Amino acid sequence: MWKIDLTYREQLQPSFDRLFEKRDALQKHRPLSGVALTKIKETLAIEWTYNSNSIEGNTLSLRETQMILQEGVTISGKSLREHFEAVNHQTALKYLYELVSKDRSISGKDILSLHALVLRNIEDEFAGRLRNAGVRIAGANFTPPNAMKVSSLVDELVAFVNENPLGLNIIVLATVFHHKFVWIHPFFDGNGRTVRLVMNLLLMKEGFPPAIILKNDRAKYYASLNSANKGNYQKLTLLMSQALERTLNIYLSAIPGNDAEYTEISNLVKEADLPYSQEYISLLARQGKIDAHKEGRNWFTTKEAVEEYVKARKRKQ
């Protein structure tokens, strides 16, 4: 189960290097303080709740999610379940931050506790409990393992990430955990929300901000998981790296003295004298070859990131 093809890592190494450099730069300014940084944390928590729930079919908009969580309003025309999904995820996030602060490895109990919070008042019968029967996943290219094996497989997965026998960097380790958890599919419901919480628990314990998979990347996300089922982790790792780069850039932009200006690529091409077309720069962003992140459906980067890529290519020639 744990035989993993890691040959793709060399192609993504420049992206890994960039992410760890940004993580280290962020670490130098911890503990983070100030109204702006507090606001970023609150805003990202709402975005995280909105996007994670939307990927699973929740129809609340970002604004509606914010109104429920911060203003306590009830949204007309939306189901009680959708309201509970928003409130529950926010409660799970508060518990997650408590776990981040504890100097210990993750446990199966932590996973069950997060799942219990995700499904509270929705499916109390199954909240915090492993499935005891078989399941099938619509649109997936695999069948989850027999329910009798689930408990031991979860224990094996937890031991794998805590011991890290392959010496994986935390980004790859969290990605492998993400896929293996989805493959085990330990719960009847709430697997997606729970795995995105625990994956970020792993990252945040290592000093990274959360990697928020955007609703607009839902199709790419599921396609990447299906590729991982066939042993190809490159697409999923790249998607996770891009999600991580976005939140790193958001945090770093609020630190005094940071002068990086991320601009939508179409506007950057119009404003700056660059040697590449909009289409090519967008391709570099999607491939993780330049410092860039996504907002909605649009890619943002800096003039300096493109110029650094040009210099790197010239050095190789």
| CATH 1.10.3290.10, the chain: domain bounds | 30-253
* Positions marked catalytic: 185
pLDDT of the residue at 66: 97
Q: Average pLDDT for residues 192-210, to the nearest whole number?
A: 97
Fold of 30-253: Fic-like fold (1.10.3290)
CA distance 101 to 99: 5
* Per-residue pLDDT at 135: 84
Position 1 scores a pLDDT of 52
Higher-pLDDT residue of 312, 175: 175
Task: Give 237-270 pLDDT, tens digit per residue.
Answer: 999 999 999 999 999 888 777 778 899 999 999 8
> CA 177, 183, 188, 191: dihedral to nearest 10 degrees?
30
Output the DSSP codes for 239-294. Answer: HHHHHHHHHHHHHHHTSTT-----EEHHHHHHHS--SS-HHHHHHHHHTT-SSEEE
pLDDT of res. 2: 56
Q: Which residue has the higher pLDDT, 7 or 226?
A: 226
Residue 228 amino acid letter: A
* Cis peptide leading into residue 31 (ω within 30°): yes
Asked if residue 8 has pLDDT above 70, the reply is yes
Q: What is the pLDDT of residue 272?
A: 82
The pLDDT > 70 percentage for the chain reads 98
DSSP annotation of 145: P
Residue-wise pLDDT tens digits, 113-151: 999 999 999 999 999 999 999 887 777 777 889 999 999
Contact of 286 with 299, CB cutoff 8 Å: yes
Q: What is the mean pLDDT of the chain?
A: 92
- pLDDT tens digits along 214-245: 999 999 999 999 999 988 999 999 999 999 99
Query: The whole model's pTM is what?
Result: 0.93
**How distant, in Å, are the alpha carbons of 68, 110, 207, 209, 295 from that of 28?**
35, 29, 11, 14, 26
Task: Give 54's contacts (C-beta < 8 A, 6+ positions apart).
Answer: 60, 215, 218
